[in-house]
Amino acid sequence: MLISQILDDAGKRAVVVRNGSEASVLKGVASTYELVQEAIAKGQSLTECIRGHELGAAVDLEQLASEGRLLLPIDHPDAAHMHLTGTGLTHLGSAATRDAMHAKAKNDDANVTDSMKMFQLGLEGGRPQPGHVGVQPEWFYKGNGSCAVAPGGDLVSPGFCEDGGEEPEIAGVYVIAEDGTPFRVGFALANEFSDHVMERQNYLYLAHSKLRPASFGPELMVGPLPEKVEGTSRIYRDGALLWEKPFLSGEGNMSHTLANLEHHHFKYDVFRQPGDLHVHMFGTATLSFADGIGCREGDEVEISAPGFGVPLKNRLAFKAAEAGAAQVKVL
């Protein structure tokens, strides 16, 4: 089952449920967030809660995508209570790309990069037995809900950026119950947009490079993540295919279990605040930057994977360079 949000013919938000190729508006609910809160309050699974609502008119999601009427599959009424975060070096093969960005002159043990060391830690301890705690992954913060860009929207790099490039990933979506329990809503395609030139200068610039917008959706997969996800990432320039490469995800392609990544995010009290929404991106081993591609204004990124519905598409844009420093006034 897949869930999405659209603008209906009256320009109002509507929740859409898709089973197979059939997609219909879900009656009696104004947003996915409201639906999730209803399921938690009733002690139901999301699927059970959906079955308690009537289905309305059928919709063509592909057509709505072409009309720019797809919204994020879930958002929060208060953007400050929506958190975009992620992990890195979590996939088999992800270290090769990262290590090349931070490679040192020598290849002996004393000169192994921090990226490779962290990846090796994940291989050794990222898949603990159920109920046990494994090694913690690389973790980063991207921003709040104001940084979440709807499918079809522009991913805009700031004027001080040095690069803006795609990262095709799977994101987990979570809502925190009143007692502080995280509930996983489902999974979605995500573009964890980053500044790879900035990151390459020094690994400690990773935190800066990740403070960029991101997009996810358009549809949210309800239920377990497939053991292996085999998707495709594409970049189009001036309407022509510029770059294409498969991306792999799912636990069968990862050095960490999802449970371990979830534990190391939600072990912090600050991420278990009642009502908050979390979109946590699980990493990738594929990015065009590693193949020497430099994205430009107007490039379109398309991320797709079987079972996840409509592909995620976003254009890239760059703000003009900013002159001078940010100004802070004193009260």
Predicted pLDDT at 238? 96
Residue 324 lies in a domain: no
Residue 159 belongs to domain with CATH number: 3.90.850.10
Helix (H, G, I), strand (E, B) or coil at 142: strand
114 and 141 fall within a common domain: yes
pLDDT value, residue 97: 57
Contacts of residue 67, Cβ cutoff 8 Å, sequence gap at least 6: none
Together in a domain, 66 and 147 = no
Q: How many CB atoms lie within 10 A of CB 320?
A: 6
Whether residues 81 and 227 share a domain: the answer is yes
214 and 131, same structural domain? yes
Q: Are residues 44 and 99 in the same domain?
A: no
Domain end point (choices 43, 71, 99): 71
In a domain? residue 260:
yes
- What pLDDT is recorded for position 226? 96
Give the strand pairing for 13-19 and 22-26. Answer: antiparallel
Domain boundary among 52, 71, 90: 71
Tell me if 214 is assigned to some domain.
yes
Domain count, the chain: 2
Please give the pLDDT value at position 276. 98
The rounded distance, in Å, linking the Cα atoms of 249 and 253 is: 5
pLDDT at residue 285 in the model: 87
Strand pairing of 214-216 and 148-149?
A: parallel
Q: Do 13 and 127 share a domain, yes or no?
A: no
**156 and 199 in a common domain:** yes
CB 133 within 8 A of CB 263: yes
Is 330 among the domain residues?
no
- The verdict on residue 331 lying in a domain is no
Domain shared by 16 and 128, yes or no: no
The residue ranges of DSSP E strands in 13-75, in sequence order, are: 13-19, 22-26, 55-58
Q: Are residues 97 and 216 in the same domain?
A: yes
Residue 183 within a domain: yes
For residues 121 and 92, membership in a common domain is answered with: yes
Q: What pLDDT, on the 0 to 100 scale, is given for residue 104? A: 44
| 323 found inside a domain | no
pLDDT, residue 94, reads: 61
pLDDT of residue 110: 59
Domain-ending residue, one of 20, 46, 71: 71
Q: Which tokens sit at 171?
A: 């994101």
Could you give the dihedral angle defined by the CA atoms of residues 207, 186, 266 and 155, in that order, rounded to the nearest 10 degrees?
A: 20
Kind of pairing between the strands at 182-191 and 168-176: antiparallel
Structural domain including 58 reads 1-71
CA dist 136 and 132 (Å) reads: 12
The torsion angles phi and psi of 25, rounded to 5 degrees, stand at -70, 140
Q: Give the residues across from 63 on adjacent strands.
A: none
Residues 294 and 238 grouped into a single domain: yes
Q: Are residues 256 and 314 in the same domain?
A: yes
Looking up tokens 């090769």 gives 96
Distance, in Å, from the CA atom of 280 to the CA atom of 226, rounded to the nearest integer, reads 17
The series of mean pLDDT values per 10 residues for the chain, 331 residues long, is: 96 96 96 98 97 96 97 98 94 62 49 78 88 93 98 95 93 98 98 91 90 97 96 97 96 93 97 98 90 93 97 96 90 97
Which residue is associated with the tokens 């991101």? Answer: 214
Q: What is the pTM of this model?
A: 0.93
Is 216 inside a domain boundary? yes
